[in-house]
Amino acid sequence: MVLRYLLSRILNNPEVIEKLSESYPIRRAAQITAYALQRGKVAASEALDSEASKRLQQFRQDFTQEVKEGFKKIEEESKTKNMPEGAADTVQTDAEKSTEEKKPKCKACCACPETKRARDACIIENGEENCTELIEAHKKCMREMGFNI
């Protein structure tokens, strides 16, 4: 209690605070603190810049892919217009196959949450061998979403 009283008297004295602030250890601690804060700001801005460039690059790749697919689709449609009726049917089935083989739009972990939840709960409660219907239902859903299972 006495020590607390002495420290509060010393630290509340403006003359003591001024002398401490002029001392080398306190100035050096302030410099190091300012340097660390500045480095943190620079690192944060660099991280944001790199994240933005990654997003921009991903956008460019997605855009390029969609444009290529659009041109392929237009090219296939123009081929069907110039072909006889029987040949057009085969081209349309090829186009349908290419859309089925298309990459899924979401990750496997996010696809078919309803069937996944039911399947997992059944496996935990009853074991894998007793849940074949739910497992097959989930596999069917995943295939419909575009995954190759």
Q: Report DSSP state, residue 62.
A: H
Asked if 147 and 92 sit in the same domain, the reply is: no
CATH of the domain at 124: 1.10.287.1130
Model confidence pLDDT, tens digit, residues 55-65? 888 888 898 88
pLDDT bin (cut points 50, 70, 90) of residue 101 is low
pTM of the model: 0.34
- Mean per-residue pLDDT of the chain: 81
Asked if 114 and 129 sit in the same domain, the reply is: yes
Q: Assess if residue 55 is contained within a domain.
A: yes
Contact 148, 107 (CB under 8 A): no
Q: Which domain holds residue 40?
A: 29-102
Model confidence pLDDT, tens digit, residues 18-48? 888 888 988 999 999 999 999 988 888 887 7
Instruction: Taking residues 58-74, report their average pLDDT.
Output: 88
Number of domains in the chain: 2
Asked if 51 and 91 sit in the same domain, the reply is: yes
Asked if 96 and 39 sit in the same domain, the reply is: yes
Looking at residue 7, its amino acid is: L
Q: Is 109 annotated as a binding residue?
A: yes
C-alpha dihedral, 42 to 46 to 49 to 54, nearest 10° = -160
Asked if 44 and 92 sit in the same domain, the reply is: yes
Higher local confidence (pLDDT), 96 or 28: 28
Q: Is 110 annotated as a binding residue?
A: yes
Q: Assess if residue 2 is contained within a domain.
A: no
Asked if 34 and 86 sit in the same domain, the reply is: yes
Give the span between the Cα atoms of 146 and 70, in whole angstroms.
Answer: 19
Whether the per-residue pLDDT at 110 is higher than 90: the answer is no
Whether the per-residue pLDDT at 98 is higher than 80: the answer is no
Whether the per-residue pLDDT at 93 is higher than 60: the answer is no
Asked if 39 and 69 sit in the same domain, the reply is: yes
